[in-house]
A and B are shown apart, each in its own frame.
Chain A
Amino acid sequence: MDVLVVGAGVVGAGVAKRLAGSSSAPIGRVAVFDRNPDRAWRLSERQGAPAAAGSLDDTADIVILATASGSQARLAQRFLGKAQVVLATSDSLGDVRRLLGMNGAVRQRNSLVVAGVGMAPGLSDVLAVRAAADLDRVTEVHVAKFGTGGPACARQHHKALGSLALEWRGGWRQRPGGSGRELCWFPGPVDAADCYRAALPDPLLLARKFNRADRITARMAATRRDRFSSWLPMLRPPHPEGRLGAIRVEVRGQKGQAWVGRILGASAPPGFATAAVVTSVVELIGSGKVDGAGVMGLSEIVDAGEFLRVLEGQGIVCEEFSGP
């Protein structure tokens, strides 16, 4: 199974490193492409075989898009017919919307494009499905995330906070980014953080799985300065890699006659977690446990329990919040 990783930033480098050292997935060649050829070359040199510097014209069984958000729908289009599976890590609402719009063309080629393979969306969607596993009816799903991966991820978060958020309330509604403050309690060491609406793609993907829910929302943690400056260009350059990150998924619904609320979460640096999620999906594809054609979210192509078990092997342990 040959893999092409497009983008050698925090996520791309993490994925290439994990795949090159993986013994559980039948990996042939791991090619890494970056628009900065030196960076891809240095990374492949550091990893050694089976990693190698690649190009956008390479053919591969799996293509992993780890480039800056905003470019991934165009790249996925480029690999249609050249790769069997494309995994897009973008958390941009626009990217995910455009990817979902490619469903017809992807189906026609009998390929699979997975949109939102990351911490959120991605792991957050799988946690929502896991939390809802034994519920008879899901009425509400609320996702919150804390932290950013590399500089491109930080720029995307800044942009998302200043853009219109999308929510499902029995119909799609647009709300201003930076509104709707809610204090969310994440797994440690993050703990409590104020979260706000932002242009996040989670509701778009979750609505495909929970199409009878009344409310599906997504929020991201931000400071007062983040909110105040969200309409400006970034005031200072983003950090090389975010060290603190977490997600929290709250699912409410009915089990028999009883109303149930369930909160699941995970805590890890976002770049690290995204690389772990991508590697877990590649492992599942390698063992023949992922099937389908078209454009789908992560929760639509994997079994939630199995995925979380494989993810544990990649160093991400999920947690449940239990109240008194």
Chain B
Amino acid sequence: MEAVKILRRALVALAGAAAIATILRARGTGGVPPQSGGWRQISGTSKF
């Protein structure tokens, strides 16, 4: 009986974690990645 109880608890915990992950995954919009900027060459005398 003790083993079944532990197994049931583990399954409930896993199901809970999966549900939370699904919610977070579905809510994340991702947004738009930057469309400008990047690396540009500078020289020793370049001004910022």
Contact = CB atoms under 8 A, between A and B. Distances in A.
> Are the chains A and B members of one assembly?
yes
Interface of A: 130-131, 133-134, 187-188, 262, 264-265, 304-312, 317-324
Interface residues of B, number: 14
B39 A319 contact: yes
B43 interface: yes
Interface stretch (B5-13, B14-22, B29-37): B29-37
A6 to B, nearest CB: 29
Contacts of B40: 319-320, 322
A320 B39 contact: yes
Contacts of A321: 37-39
A309 B44 contact: yes
A188 B45 contact: no
A168 B37 CA distance: 30
Contacts of B35: 324
Given A320-B42, A323-B34, A323-B37, 20 more contacts: A265-B39, A305-B44, A305-B45, A306-B44, A308-B42, A308-B44, A309-B44, A310-B44, A312-B44, A317-B42, A318-B43, A319-B39, A319-B40, A319-B41, A320-B39, A320-B40, A321-B38, A322-B37, A322-B38, A322-B40
B40 to A, nearest CB: 6
